[in-house]
């Protein structure tokens, strides 16, 4: 959410930012905000004037009462009754105007970084760099669920009977591999100076609206019926929410945190044949990174965060690339975002396995997360988030890139202590 002073001082810049995001239907919101802001300030000025007048007159009434001039005092009280009614009326209108102003401000997109490429949607995202050599072996690579089934490692049919489409059972060594990757990711980030956390897996609505846009909330979040609670779509939600209404000492920053959680997502819409299996699902687990820092440090942290994901995948010899998200592909709260994509030898293309974002002070402003500067002045913190790893999607890249011609899957040295075995060997009876 933008600062109202910024919109007031730079309305054309806000309009141009909306155009860059190809959201022209939101252009009228700028004028609406400006009109509401003017009316809000008018009301405040009028109310303050009336209250100052009432304070002055109250003193006058007190003097008259002290002098025994009760009739004169009562006459002035009667004259002031109309002002009291007007104050109540204006105060009620002020509440309505401020609510509408906040609601409208939360729909206007954040100002994107000047480095963000301009484009309408994800087809116009820009490849930045590749890490590792993508290889297509000289043998056929089965679909990822077929690979898992060769190890008796997945049961989709039972999951459909129990919970419906978009769920899965991981079994045996594939389940152990899944857990091993998450444990390795935890230690990988701890070794890089991040503090490990396990957050609540449900959050209240005021936290949801603080960390994401209304459109994202509707398309992603599962609500607990009868309670003011939502299942988290990522641990970023509860990790940033942890600091709601807090004033952080400047010398406590940066806060570099890594969190584990299950994640729950509606995943509305059809996504195509390549997203069946365990690519796009309603429930998964993830290791995340979250940083809260001073504004001047946010871009430095942005670069550090996405490098962590690249290094994590490369430590298991999985080729990846980075993709800069264009303006039209950015969620409204994001200032800049970069996807990390892993190589799929079967599809002969890359696919997303992580997303790194800086949101400027948008989340902090919504959640009132402030920093107490050394000069005594308070300001809003900047927040960033990035995926370390999100299996089972990451398992697709892992299994395809480490599959051998005999159907086995080799385990890299960094994972062996976490898995307890050196390779996956097919054992499903045909």
**pTM of the full predicted structure?**
0.89
Beta bridge partners of 423: 410
- My answer on whether 146 and 87 are in the same domain is no
Higher pLDDT, 212 or 402: 402
Coil vs helix vs strand at 251: helix
CA distance 8 to 128: 36
Q: Decide if 429 is inside a domain.
A: no
- My answer on whether 240 and 295 are in the same domain is yes
- My answer on whether 89 and 216 are in the same domain is no
Q: Decide if 162 is inside a domain.
A: yes
Phi, psi of 2 (to 5 degrees): -80, 160
Q: Where are the alpha helices (DSSP H) in 67-171?
A: 70-105, 144-150, 156-162
- My answer on whether 58 and 167 are in the same domain is no
Q: What is the pLDDT of residue 273?
A: 41
The mean pLDDT value for 338-365 works out to 96
What is the percentage of the chain residues whose pLDDT exceeds 70?
95
The mean pLDDT value for 179-184 works out to 97
Q: Decide if 352 is inside a domain.
A: yes
Q: Which pairs with CB-CB distance under 8 Å and at least 24 residues apart come from 67-73?
A: none
Residue 85 lies in domain = 4-105
CA distance 40 to 95: 9
Quick check: 159 pLDDT over 60? yes
Q: Decide if 116 is inside a domain.
A: no
Quick check: 60 pLDDT over 90? no
Neighbours of 117 (CB within 10 A): 14
* Closest residue by Cα to residue 280 from 291, 288, 272: 272
The mean pLDDT value for 318-344 works out to 97
Burial (CB count <10 Å: 0-12, 13-18, 19+), residue 175: middle
Q: Decide if 115 is inside a domain.
A: no
* Closest residue by Cα to residue 268 from 165, 337, 386: 165
Place of tokens 């965060």: 305
- My answer on whether 284 and 420 are in the same domain is yes
In the structure, what pLDDT confidence band is assigned to residue 411 with cuts at 50, 70 and 90? very high
* Closest residue by Cα to residue 168 from 198, 201, 144: 144
Phi, psi of 421 (to 5 degrees): -150, 160
The mean pLDDT value for 142-161 works out to 95
CA distance 54 to 57: 5
Q: Decide if 117 is inside a domain.
A: no
Neighbours of 136 (CB within 10 A): 12
Higher pLDDT, 392 or 178: 178
Cβ contact 355:386 at 8 Å:
yes
Mean residue pLDDT of the chain comes to 92
Which of 80, 105, 130 corresponds to the end of one domain?
Answer: 105
Order the strands of the 320-324 sheet from edge to edge. Answer: 126-131, 320-324, 336-344, 349-358, 382-389, 283-293, 255-264, 195-197
Beta bridge partners of 249: 372
Q: CATH number for the domain including 93?
A: 1.10.287.40
Q: What is the total count of domains within the chain? A: 2
Quick check: 76 pLDDT over 90? no
Q: Tens of pLDDT along 334-343? A: 999 999 999 9
User: Largest alpha-carbon pair distance within the chain?
Assistant: 107
CA distance 426 to 410: 12
In the structure, what pLDDT confidence band is assigned to residue 275 with cuts at 50, 70 and 90? low
- My answer on whether 129 and 251 are in the same domain is yes
Burial (CB count <10 Å: 0-12, 13-18, 19+), residue 376: exposed
CA distance 144 to 247: 47
* Closest residue by Cα to residue 241 from 200, 213, 207: 207
Coil vs helix vs strand at 98: helix
- My answer on whether 314 and 406 are in the same domain is yes
Place of tokens 């309009």: 15
Q: What is the pLDDT of residue 323?
A: 97
Quick check: 270 pLDDT over 60? no
- My answer on whether 57 and 183 are in the same domain is no
- My answer on whether 93 and 166 are in the same domain is no
In the structure, what pLDDT confidence band is assigned to residue 84 with cuts at 50, 70 and 90? confident
Annotate 277-289 with b (16+ C-beta within 10 A) or e (fewer). bbbbbbbbbbbbb
Q: Decide if 110 is inside a domain.
A: no
Q: Decide if 113 is inside a domain.
A: no
Higher pLDDT, 325 or 49: 325
Task: Give residues with Cβ within 8 angstroms of 376, minimum separation 6.
Answer: none
The mean pLDDT value for 295-301 works out to 97
Higher pLDDT, 379 or 393: 379
Higher pLDDT, 430 or 356: 356
CA distance 397 to 351: 9
Q: What is the pLDDT of residue 215?
A: 76
Quick check: 86 pLDDT over 90? no
Quick check: 3 pLDDT over 70? yes
Which of 105, 139, 163 corresponds to the end of one domain?
Answer: 105
Which of 105, 140, 165 corresponds to the end of one domain?
Answer: 105
- My answer on whether 182 and 270 are in the same domain is yes
* Least reliable range by pLDDT among 86-95, 169-178, 214-223, 234-243: 214-223
Quick check: 171 pLDDT over 70? yes
- My answer on whether 189 and 139 are in the same domain is yes
CA distance 122 to 325: 7
- My answer on whether 400 and 315 are in the same domain is yes
Q: CATH number for the domain including 270?
A: 3.30.930.10
In the structure, what pLDDT confidence band is assigned to residue 269 with cuts at 50, 70 and 90? low
Neighbours of 306 (CB within 10 A): 24
Cβ contact 26:108 at 8 Å:
yes
The mean pLDDT value for 221-245 works out to 95
The token duo for 314 is 């490369």
Q: Tens of pLDDT along 129-140? A: 999 999 999 999
Q: What is the pLDDT of residue 79?
A: 66
Q: What is the pLDDT of residue 99?
A: 94
**C-alpha distance from residue 359 to each of 8, 12, 205, 254, 297 (Å):** 21, 21, 20, 15, 13
CA distance 243 to 367: 8
CA distance 233 to 355: 14
Cβ contact 181:249 at 8 Å:
no
What is the percentage of the chain residues whose pLDDT exceeds 90?
80
């Amino acid at each position: 959410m933008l600062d109202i002073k910024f919109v007031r001082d730079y309305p054309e810049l806000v309009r141009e930012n909306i155009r860059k995001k190809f959201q022209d239907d939101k252009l009228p919101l700028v004028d609406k905000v400006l009109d509401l802001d003017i009316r809000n300030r008018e009301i405040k000025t009028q109310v303050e004037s009336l209250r100052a007048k009432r304070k002055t007159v109250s003193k006058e009434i007190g003097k008259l009462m002290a002098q025994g001039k009760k009739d004169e005092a009562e006459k002035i009280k009667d004259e002031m009754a109309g002002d009291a009614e007007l104050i109540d009326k204006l105060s009620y209108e002020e509440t309505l105007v401020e609510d509408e102003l906040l609601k409208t401000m939360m729909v206007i997109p954040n100002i994107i970084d000047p480095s963000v490429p301009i484009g309408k949607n994800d087809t116009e995202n820009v490849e930045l760099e590749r890490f590792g050599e993508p290889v297509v072996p000289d043998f056929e690579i089965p679909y990822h669920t077929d690979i898992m089934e060769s190890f008796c490692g997945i049961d989709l049919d039972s999951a459909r009977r129990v919970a419906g489409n978009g769920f899965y059972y991981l079994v045996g060594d594939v389940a152990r591999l899944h857990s091993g990757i998450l444990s390795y990711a935890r230690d990988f980030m701890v070794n890089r100076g991040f503090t490990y956390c396990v957050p609540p897996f449900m959050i209240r609505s005021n936290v949801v609206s603080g960390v994401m846009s209304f459109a994202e909330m509707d398309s992603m979040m599962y609500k607990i019926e009868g309670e003011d609670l939502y299942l988290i779509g990522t641990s970023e939600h509860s990790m940033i929410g942890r600091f709601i209404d807090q004033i952080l000492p400047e010398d406590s920053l940066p806060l570099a945190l890594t969190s584990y959680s299950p994640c729950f997502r509606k995943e509305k819409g059809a996504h195509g044949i390549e997203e069946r299996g365990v690519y796009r699902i309603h429930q998964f687990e993830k290791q995340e990174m979250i940083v809260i820092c001073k504004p001047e440090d946010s871009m430095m942290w942005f670069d550090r965060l996405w490098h962590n994901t690249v290094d994590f995948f490369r430590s298991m010899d999985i080729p990846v690339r980075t993709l800069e998200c264009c303006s039209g592909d950015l969620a409204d709260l994001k200032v800049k975002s970069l996807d990390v994509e892993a190589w799929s030898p079967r599809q002969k293309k890359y696919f997303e396995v992580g997303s790194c974002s800086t949101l400027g002070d948008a989340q902090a402003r919504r959640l009132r997360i402030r920093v107490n500067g050394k000069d005594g002045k308070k300001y809003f913190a900047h927040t960033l988030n990035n995926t370390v790893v999100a299996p089972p999607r990451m398992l697709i890249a892992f299994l395809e890139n480490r599959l051998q011609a005999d159907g086995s899957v080799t385990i890299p040295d960094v994972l062996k202590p976490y898995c307890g075995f050196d390779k996956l060997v097919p054992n499903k009876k045909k």
